[in-house]
Homo-oligomer: A and B are copies of this chain.
Amino acid sequence: MAERAVNNPIGTGESLLFLTDEQLRRGIEAMFFAYRGFTADPDRILQNYEYGRAHHRAIHFINRTPGTTVNNLLSILGVTKQSLNRVLRSLIADGLVESRVGVQDKRERHLYLTETGAKLERELSEAQRNRMRAAYRNAGPEAVAGFRAVLEQMMDPEMLRHFQAGMDT
């Protein structure tokens, strides 16, 4: 087994993985450089609106789960409520997000995109999807499955929970 592994460092067959520090380092740098590309297009667009990445994240997840509460958004984004609040305040003031007091629990605020908010969301996600689509196409179908599998394994358990929660919506 050890011998086969040496001959097939990251073989595609039935061999086990034999991973050198060097190969792992390349994976790490791939993540670093790719994430830059991943955020580049939305970042460019956001400058025209005087918003930042934090606004993009809020808009994305409010769009994914309309009516989500501030608290739920907090645990998804992993920031403090004060930090998120500043972002939400500006989005609400600018009329991109609507905040409705909860019916059952009046402490909660349920968040929705307005038509303006949905329009920005589409502009941002279209740019990001175009890049993702191009990457998927050029890499091929098997690569996409592998990409998703490794990324899932890289998540912390709670992040994985949030990720999978978005599957059944």
Contact = CB atoms under 8 A, between A and B. Distances in A.
Given A27-B147, A28-B129, A139-B153, 5 more contacts: A12-B145, A13-B141, A19-B133, A131-B154, A147-B150
User: Most B CB atoms within 10 A — which of A10, A143, A166?
Assistant: A143
A163 B30 CA distance: 7
Contacts of A146: 139-140, 142-147, 149-150
Looking at chain A's contact residues, the main secondary structure is helix
Say how many copies of this protein the assembly contains: 2
A12 B140 CA distance: 9
A154 B135 contact: yes
B19 A125 contact: no
Interface in A41-98: 57, 60, 64, 78
